[in-house]
Amino acid sequence: MEKKNINILKILATILFAVAIFGAYFYVIFKGDFSTPYLSYGCIGACFVFAFLFIGKSLKKCFLCLALATNVVADYFLVLMPSQENKLIGLCVFCGVQFFYFLYTLVLAKGNGTRVINIALRVALCLLAYFLLPKYFVLSTLEMISVMYILNSFVTLLILLIHLKTEWLTFIGFLLFFICDVFVGLTNGGVEVLGITGAFVEFIFKYNIVFYTYIPGIFLIATSSVWSKNGENKK
């Protein structure tokens, strides 16, 4: 009976948070005013609150909640207080977000061997990027950190794909989050660094792909935490 009551509470909470978050989300879309930061920030904060209300006792839930909480801190600098200096601070905080998702993937691992491969792949990609990319591209510190960030995000996405059977909701949410990050990078200097031109550039600057993917992705990640079993992958 208690489990049934908890599930009913989760259903009601999911509906209420979805209505509130997507109400604000579609309001911004239909109004066409993407310059209002408080609604976007409020949606991200609400996603964290939603996940935190059902944090439970599993490491999976804890790491997702910590990632969402750090996400809120990062967006304070990037969304509410945008400046060149805060862009670097926000990106560094977002690296902390990726760190918690990395820990989440370690919890998903079935053994120490896969955990070692996970860590080794991330380290190898970052080292290759650090030593090879400067030979072909002129990268600032901010851009190099962005590359490290997106590489780690890509590895996390691959691992979630491997565990798609049990992590499908987290995967979809993180995929949207990853797409958002890619377009953030492209619209903040990536296009110039990579020398991309043509209709694609016009497309990414005309349509706010970042907003369209960011909030739904974070909400799905929060929802996956809420509906994850408390005892699952508990260490």
Percent of the chain beyond pLDDT 90? 69
61-70, 154-163, 195-204, 221-230 — which is least confidently predicted?
A: 195-204
Cβ-proximal residues to 185 (8 Å cutoff; 6+ apart), any chain: 146, 150
As a whole number of angstroms, the distance between CA 64 and CA 48 comes to 9
Q: Picking from 30-44, 133-147, 151-165, which range would have the lowest pLDDT averaged per residue? A: 30-44
Over residues 35-57, mean pLDDT: 91
Chain-centroid distance, C-alpha 176: 8
Tokens of 56: 């439970």
- Residue 210, Cβ density class (10 Å: 0-12 exposed, 13-18 middle, ≥19 buried): buried
pLDDT of residue 84 exceeding 90: no
pLDDT at 234: 44
Share of the chain above pLDDT 70, in %: 95
For position 1, what pLDDT does the model report? 56
Task: Assess whether pLDDT exceeds 80 at residue 222.
Answer: yes
- Mean pLDDT score of the chain: 90
Helix axes 164-185, 141-162, angle to 10 degrees: 160
In this structure, which long-range contacts are made by residues 184-193, counting pairs with CB atoms below 8 Å and at least 24 apart in sequence? 184/210, 185/146, 185/150, 188/87, 188/146, 189/140, 189/142, 189/143, 190/143, 190/146, 193/137, 193/138, 193/139, 193/143
Question: pLDDT value at position 195?
Answer: 76
- Residues 6+ positions from 58 with CB-CB distance below 8 Å: 228, 229, 230, 231, 232, 233, 234
- Alpha-carbon distances of 35 from 16, 40, 183, 186, 210, rounded to whole Å: 25, 9, 17, 19, 13
- Across the range 101-114, mean pLDDT stands at 95
